[in-house]
Amino acid sequence: MNLLHYLRALRGIATRELLRFVHQRERFISALVRPLVWLFIFAAGFRSTLGLSPIPPYETYILYEEYITPGLIGMIQLFNGMQSSLSMVYDREMGNMRTLLISPLPRWFLLVAKLLAGTLVSILQAYAFLLVAWVYDVRTPLEGYLDLLPALLLSGLMLGALGLLLSSFIEQLENFAGVMNFVIFPMFFMSTALYPLWKLQESSDLLHTLAEYNPFSQAVELIRFALYGQFNIYACVYTLSSLILFLSAAVIGYNPSKGMMQKKGGKQ
């Protein structure tokens, strides 16, 4: 086994993920429509009711559409991470996952490769969304689009790792609806995606604290600052730490002798 083998496996996994994405046009359209509905309808409706004072990285008053754009990019990656996890549960139930897991490579590498492939898809979705937003006149400085790339990679990996971790616990597809209700929605609404922290503090200290420590908030802030050519070191370290935590737990979860795979034995 050598480096070339690892690279070939990574190529295989990424190509498969991209091809599956291309073949599932509905998935791409819904991934794009969801944030656009929020941008075109929700943000337009709330534009006049939500006043936002200039907070970093913004230097002037901004429109609400501009404020929630990073949050909606985060939403794309959050949903994509969960979608990948859903597909892993499906693959495991249907059997496809086995062909991956019995490959002659360390399991941690196979999971990381799968994670990278899923993140790649989420980055494509995010840029497609930004293109439509640009046409709609929601724009950021040009260099922001380039600075965004490493931030998207990190946030996508972190949210994908969370999905991976969840998929190691979820035994059946039917249980996935619960994940939507108990993970995706609280994570999204209890974050800085739709409103800044100070706004939340006005309503509830508890909500403010929860939102502050929500890894999704930090991923959104990382994206927000990157979009304006700035680097939020706290958000970066927080997101990276969350990634390490989620990924390590997922690797343990998929370890045949330690994790949930062992407990799932017999339920085939």
Partner 1 sequence: MIQSIAPVLSVQNISLAYGEKLALDNVSFSVHSGECRILLGPNGAGKSSLFSLITRLYDTRQGSIDIAGLNLKRHSSKALGRLGVVFQQPTLDMDLSVERNLFYHADLHGLGRKQAKDRIQEELERQAMFERRHEKVRQLNGGHRRRVEIARALLHKPDLLLLDEPTVGLDMPSRKAIVEYVHQLTADHKIAVLWATHLVDEIFETDQLIVLHKGTIRFQGSVPQLLDTTATSSVASAFQHLTKEVR
CB of residue 257 to partner 1, shortest distance in Å:
4
Within 10 angstroms of residue 204's Cβ, the number of other Cβ atoms is: 11
From 39, 88, 100, 154, residue interacting with partner 1 (rule: CB under 8 A): 100
Q: How far is CA 63 from CA 128, 146, 164, 203, in A?
A: 21, 22, 35, 22
Q: What 8-state DSSP symbol labels residue 42?
A: I
CB of residue 159 to partner 1, shortest distance in Å:
24
CA distance 160 to 166: 10
CB of residue 33 to partner 1, shortest distance in Å:
21
Asked if 261 is part of the footprint of partner 1 (rule: CB under 8 A), the reply reads yes
Instruction: Determine the interface stretch with partner 1 among 76-84, 94-102, 211-219, 238-246 (rule: CB under 8 A).
Output: 94-102
From 26, 51, 102, 142, residue interacting with partner 1 (rule: CB under 8 A): 102
- Take residue 100 and report the two structure tokens written for it: 């991956």
Asked if 201 is part of the footprint of partner 1 (rule: CB under 8 A), the reply reads no
Asked if 30 is part of the footprint of partner 1 (rule: CB under 8 A), the reply reads no
Instruction: Determine the interface stretch with partner 1 among 47-55, 99-107, 163-171, 232-240 (rule: CB under 8 A).
Output: 99-107
Contacts 24+ apart (CB under 8 A), 33-39: 34/75, 34/76, 34/79, 35/72, 35/73, 35/75, 35/76, 35/129, 36/129, 36/132, 36/133, 38/68, 38/72, 38/75, 39/65, 39/68, 39/69, 39/72, 39/133, 39/136, 39/138
From 48, 49, 99, 181, residue interacting with partner 1 (rule: CB under 8 A): 99
Peptide bond into 70 cis (omega under 30): no
Q: How far is CA 162 from CA 13, 151, 187, 204, 263, in A?
A: 19, 17, 11, 27, 20
Instruction: Determine the interface stretch with partner 1 among 37-45, 67-75, 125-133, 257-265 (rule: CB under 8 A).
Output: 257-265
Q: How far is CA 47 from CA 37, 63, 215, 259, 268, in A?
A: 14, 7, 26, 47, 51
Instruction: Determine the interface stretch with partner 1 among 42-50, 117-125, 221-229, 253-261 (rule: CB under 8 A).
Output: 253-261
Residue closer to partner 1, measured from CB, 92 or 224: 92
Residue found by looking up tokens 């909500």 in the block: 207
Asked if 237 is part of the footprint of partner 1 (rule: CB under 8 A), the reply reads no
Residue found by looking up tokens 């700035």 in the block: 230
Asked if 262 is part of the footprint of partner 1 (rule: CB under 8 A), the reply reads yes
Residue closer to partner 1, measured from CB, 49 or 257: 257
- Please work out the total of residues on this chain that contact partner 1, with binding judged by CB under 8 A: 34
From 45, 106, 178, 186, residue interacting with partner 1 (rule: CB under 8 A): 106
Residue closer to partner 1, measured from CB, 181 or 257: 257
Residues that bind partner 1 (CB under 8 A): 1-2, 4-5, 8-9, 11-13, 15-16, 19-20, 23-24, 94-96, 98-106, 256-257, 261-262, 265-266, 268
